[in-house]
Amino acid sequence: MAEDRPPAALPASLQPEPTGVAARIMARAEQDLVFVPQLLSESQHILQQHFQAFVRTELAERGITFGDHPLLLPFIETHGRELADFVLTSLALHHQFRLTEFETLAGDPARLLRLDLWNTLQSHIDHAEQHFLSGVGGLPRILQAVEEARALLIERMADGR
């Protein structure tokens, strides 16, 4: 299940055999890992407010107002979020840094960033597996639902339905 070895991109003296999922993913970091800018918190809110005001203004200029349409507010909020999400996604897609570029920018010649990423990735993989095995909606509930469906099917077959 979980692999507790660091990624193969470390110095030769520290390189393990990449057998775990986190190690296999980090071995592909040169090809598959990118860093993207992401606006957070207040900046996201400012962007959404801008687009909501934009949509409201454009509709008002075309004679569409709140008094005429009771569902206008949810329409404006939804489209404001969608326009903001479009901008945020476009920003992230347009400005991607490959791992080596990011390490160069960050001045990480010892590849500590890769080790930190591997540790974080491995931790999240472990957490996801544990959540699935024990959490609400995880494997126990799936097995229970399968057993209930199986019992219902057997009951219906016995009744001739």
- Percentage of the chain lying above the pLDDT 70 cut: 80
**Where along the chain do its domains lie?**
12-134
What is the radius of gyration, based on Cα positions, of the chain?
25
pLDDT of the residue at 46: 93
98: helix, coil or strand? Answer: strand
Sorted by sequence, the CB contacts under 8 Å of residue 116 that are 6+ apart come out as none
Residue 13 — pLDDT band, cuts 50, 70, 90? very low
pLDDT of the residue at 42: 93
- Distance from the first to the final alpha carbon of the chain: 43
The pTM is what?
0.55
The predicted-structure confidence for 28-86, as pLDDT tens digits, reads as follows 888 888 888 888 899 999 999 999 999 988 888 888 777 777 788 888 899 999 999 99
Query: Which token pair is 15?
Result: 């390189």
Contact 83, 51 (CB under 8 A): yes
The predicted-structure confidence for 45-55, as pLDDT tens digits, reads as follows 999 999 999 99
